[in-house]
Amino acid sequence: MNQELHYIVRLCHTLCNKRILQQTSTLGLSPGQPKILEFLEYNNGCEQKEIAKACEIKPATVTNLLARMEAAHLIERKQLNGNRRSLHVSLTKEGEIVTKKVLKVFDEVRKKAFEGFTVEEQTETFRLLIKMFDNLSN
């Protein structure tokens, strides 16, 4: 196996994402929607632009994903204070139920990824990945 950082990180991301998408597709979700649901779990009632920034998705793509999620009754979008340019997005009851299932999938994939790791190794892996992210973000 190639020992280059970019190769290993890409493979891990691909395999993690593949497992998540296989399981969340059975919930009727398309790629991009699970991470939006996760974000809304902790930031319910936020603006669309916040979702785009936090999930690192282009605003136009977020608009399309949210339209499909709204049609599936997972979210609702509302104008606040009559501002047509600022739509606030909230989970519906159905969306909350699906979100709980998505979070369970994320947890299962995390557990699989860390099979055989001690708690200390898991903590250190997260610490190093966050440090790496911070380095690359600057």
Sequence spans of domains, the chain = 5-137
Calpha distance 78→88 (Å, rounded): 5
Percent of the chain beyond pLDDT 90?
A: 89
What pLDDT is stored for residue 109 in this prediction?
A: 97
CA torsion, ordered 79, 81, 84, 85, to nearest 10 deg: -100
For 77-115, how does the pLDDT look when each residue is reduced to its tens digit (9 = 90+)?
998 777 667 789 999 999 999 999 999 999 999 999 999
Helix, strand, or coil (residue 20): helix
What pLDDT is stored for residue 49 in this prediction?
A: 92
CATH top-level class of 5-137: mainly alpha
What pLDDT is stored for residue 81 in this prediction?
A: 74
Calpha distance 98→28 (Å, rounded): 10
What pLDDT is stored for residue 108 in this prediction?
A: 97
